[in-house]
């Protein structure tokens, strides 16, 4: 669906809604005014058949058409703060009864339509302080987007503000987004007052420093339930395929349309996962690489490197970037399979496109460490093949260095590492396979 077509149909949809609402009331009001006026005129006419100094501000001659009402409709008639109506006592509980989950807290008017016309839905999750990064994804991804947002305490009012801002200022994006919420039982979201930037399209949404200090402190002491959020975002996608990414991973331009085309013609493969390579880009690079050739040029100049190569090399190593780069970018612009992953290894965690029948993300892993690679490993045990796509790619803005990792993150990682021992025993029992000999292997120390 073209951008302008989408925009036009949103505007039309909203106009129809407002029109219906206004129209109903206008007709009633006009009829009432007309009746009163008629009565008054009739009385005066009957009592004083000569002079007729009627002073009336109401105009009985208003045409019964409702078209002109649109420009004068008060803002409150448009529902630009859908989350305000959320009953915070009604979310469904997660397995540990620690979080309440609200699906479709806000949903764009074209989300279901765009979903039925697309092959791939982009699923992502975010905390409130990184949610602005969604705009970078949405600027490139033209298909449906399912996003789960974590809010604690007064962060909810900021999410409401962001939703209102998106509705008013980026209607094309809002129209194809479904937004879900997860909130902790221990510190549930509270409605509060929506800041004024919500209705000001000249402001940037979600300026830092708006959260209460006690909320910030609470958040710092508690892990972010990323796998809950991933599952919530995934399970609310309605396309045949899901592309799950972290909110700071930006797809290359035109990816949604290109994937649609590829998946329409790709041979059926129920156990295939299509890997989209991810690069880290130096922040000094001003513009998003417009093509694979440009990305490879940046890579040759060390301004782009495979994601996590420095921080955690296993993350993408099995994708085999040297094979991906071998073409030098001299290849078709249509999405195609570059090569298969042949050396799967533990802790591999690519971003991939697959039907959402892949295993869920284990929600016992909280915070950082082992959250995605355990899910990918389970896919490998089931027998999924990973096929690397080209020339599409994704970008993480900013090169990562190990020293940037805070201590709390290492602590969460340690906790999850212990849980990983349980997890791999469970997998072995379930699938009766241990192709990487994990049960005999000493713990992987480096993450």
Ligand X SMILES: *[C@@H]1O[C@H](CO)[C@@H](O)[C@H](O)[C@H]1NC(C)=O
Instruction: Output the DSSP codes for 4-57.
Output: HHHHHHHHHHHHHHHHHHHHHHHHHHHHHHHHHHHHHHHHHHHH-SS-------
The interface region with ligand X, picked from 114-122, 138-146, 314-322, 429-437 by CB under 6 A, is: 314-322
> Could you give the string, one character per residue 341-370, with x where binding to ligand X holds by CB under 6 A and - elsewhere?
-xx---------------------------
Q: Smallest distance from the beta carbon of 290 to ligand X, in angstroms?
A: 17
Q: State which of residues 14, 130, 308, 323 lies at the interface with ligand X (CB under 6 A).
A: 323
Q: Determine if 339 is a binding residue for ligand X (CB under 6 A).
A: yes
Q: Smallest distance from the beta carbon of 431 to ligand X, in angstroms?
A: 20
> Is the CB of residue 355 less than 8 Å from the CB of residue 268?
no
How far apart are alpha carbons 250 and 253 in whole angstroms? 9
Q: Determine if 405 is a binding residue for ligand X (CB under 6 A).
A: no
Q: Determine if 76 is a binding residue for ligand X (CB under 6 A).
A: no
Of 100 and 387, the one with the shorter C-beta distance to ligand X is: 387
Residues in CB range of 53: below 8 A, 6 or more apart: none
Q: How many residues bind ligand X, per CB under 6 A?
A: 11
Q: Smallest distance from the beta carbon of 269 to ligand X, in angstroms?
A: 9
Q: Smallest distance from the beta carbon of 327 to ligand X, in angstroms?
A: 8
Q: Determine if 444 is a binding residue for ligand X (CB under 6 A).
A: no
Q: Determine if 317 is a binding residue for ligand X (CB under 6 A).
A: yes
Q: Smallest distance from the beta carbon of 159 to ligand X, in angstroms?
A: 41
Q: Smallest distance from the beta carbon of 441 to ligand X, in angstroms?
A: 18
HEC profile of 126-169: EEHHHHHHHHHHHHHCCCCEEEEEECCCCHHHHHHHHHHHHHHH
Q: Determine if 422 is a binding residue for ligand X (CB under 6 A).
A: no
Taken in order 175, 176, 177, 178, the sign of the CA dihedral is positive
How far apart are alpha carbons 73 and 24 in whole angstroms? 13
Of 199 and 309, the one with the shorter C-beta distance to ligand X is: 309
| Strand pairing class (241-244; 120-127) | parallel
Q: Determine if 340 is a binding residue for ligand X (CB under 6 A).
A: yes
> Could you give the string, one character per residue 205-244, with x where binding to ligand X holds by CB under 6 A and - elsewhere?
----------------------------------------
How far apart are alpha carbons 96 and 224 in whole angstroms? 14
The interface region with ligand X, picked from 23-31, 62-70, 72-80, 316-324 by CB under 6 A, is: 316-324
Q: What are phi and psi of 385, to 5 degrees?
A: -105, 140
Q: State which of residues 125, 252, 320, 394 lies at the interface with ligand X (CB under 6 A).
A: 320
Q: Determine if 322 is a binding residue for ligand X (CB under 6 A).
A: yes
Q: Determine if 333 is a binding residue for ligand X (CB under 6 A).
A: no
How far apart are alpha carbons 45 and 34 in whole angstroms? 16
Identify the helix (H) or strand (E) that includes residue 213: helix 213-221
Identify the helix (H) or strand (E) that includes residue 343: none
> Is the CB of residue 396 less than 8 Å from the CB of residue 280?
yes
Of 288 and 317, the one with the shorter C-beta distance to ligand X is: 317
Q: State which of residues 196, 330, 357, 443 lies at the interface with ligand X (CB under 6 A).
A: 330
Helix axis angle, 407-431 to 373-382, nearest 10°: 20
Of 57 and 270, the one with the shorter C-beta distance to ligand X is: 270
> Is the CB of residue 145 less than 8 Å from the CB of residue 238?
no
Q: What are phi and psi of 102, to 5 degrees?
A: -120, 110
Site for ligand X, rule CB under 6 A = 317-318, 320, 322-323, 330, 337, 339-340, 342-343
């Amino acid at each position: 669906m073209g951008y302008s077509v989408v925009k036009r149909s949103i505007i039309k949809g909203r106009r129809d809604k407002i029109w219906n609402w206004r129209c109903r009331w206008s007709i009633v009001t006009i009829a009432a005014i007309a009746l009163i006026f008629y009565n008054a005129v009739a009385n005066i006419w009957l009592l004083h058949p000569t002079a007729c100094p009627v002073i009336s501000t109401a105009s009985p001659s208003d045409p019964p058409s409702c078209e002109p009402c649109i420009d004068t409709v008060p803002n409150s008639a448009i529902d630009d703060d859908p989350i305000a109506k959320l009953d915070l006592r009604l979310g469904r509980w997660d397995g540990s009864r620690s979080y309440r989950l609200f699906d479709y807290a806000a949903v764009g008017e074209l989300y279901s339509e765009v979903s039925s016309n697309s092959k791939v839905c982009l699923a992502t999750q975010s905390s409130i302080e990184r949610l602005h990064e969604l705009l970078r994804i949405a600027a490139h991804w033209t298909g449906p987007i399912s996003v789960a947002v974590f809010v604690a305490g007064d962060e909810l009012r900021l999410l409401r503000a962001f939703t209102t801002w998106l509705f008013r200022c980026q209607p094309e994006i809002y129209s194809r987004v479904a937004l879900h919420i997860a909130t902790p039982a221990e510190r549930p979201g509270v409605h509060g007052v929506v800041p004024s930037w919500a209705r000001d399209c000249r402001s940037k949404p979600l300026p830092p420093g708006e959260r209460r200090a006690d909320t910030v402190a609470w958040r710092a002491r508690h892990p972010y339930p990323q796998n809950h959020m991933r599952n919530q975002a995934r399970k609310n996608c309605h396309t045949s395929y899901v592309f799950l990414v972290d909110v700071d991973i930006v797809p290359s331009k035109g990816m949604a349309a290109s994937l649609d085309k590829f998946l329409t013609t790709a041979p059926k493969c129920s156990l295939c996962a299509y890997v989209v390579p991810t690069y880290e880009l130096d922040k000094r690079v001003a513009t998003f690489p417009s093509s694979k050739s440009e990305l490879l040029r940046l890579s040759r100049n060390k301004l782009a490197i495979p994601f996590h190569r420095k921080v955690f090399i296993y993350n993408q190593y099995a994708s085999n970037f040297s094979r991906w780069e071998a073409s030098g970018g001299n290849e078709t612009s249509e999405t195609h399979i570059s090569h298969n992953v042949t050396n799967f290894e533990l802790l591999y965690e690519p971003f991939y496109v697959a039907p959402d029948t892949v295993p869920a993300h284990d929600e016992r892993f909280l915070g950082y460490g082992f959250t995605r690679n355990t899910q990918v490993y389970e896919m490998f045990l089931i027998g999924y093949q990973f096929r690397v796509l080209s020339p599409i790619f994704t970008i993480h803005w900013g090169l990562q260095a190990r020293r940037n990792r805070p201590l709390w993150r290492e602590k969460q990682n340690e906790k999850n590492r212990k849980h990983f021992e349980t997890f791999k025993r469970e997998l072995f029992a379930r699938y009766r396979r241990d192709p990487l000999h994990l049960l005999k292997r000493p713990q992987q120390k480096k993450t």
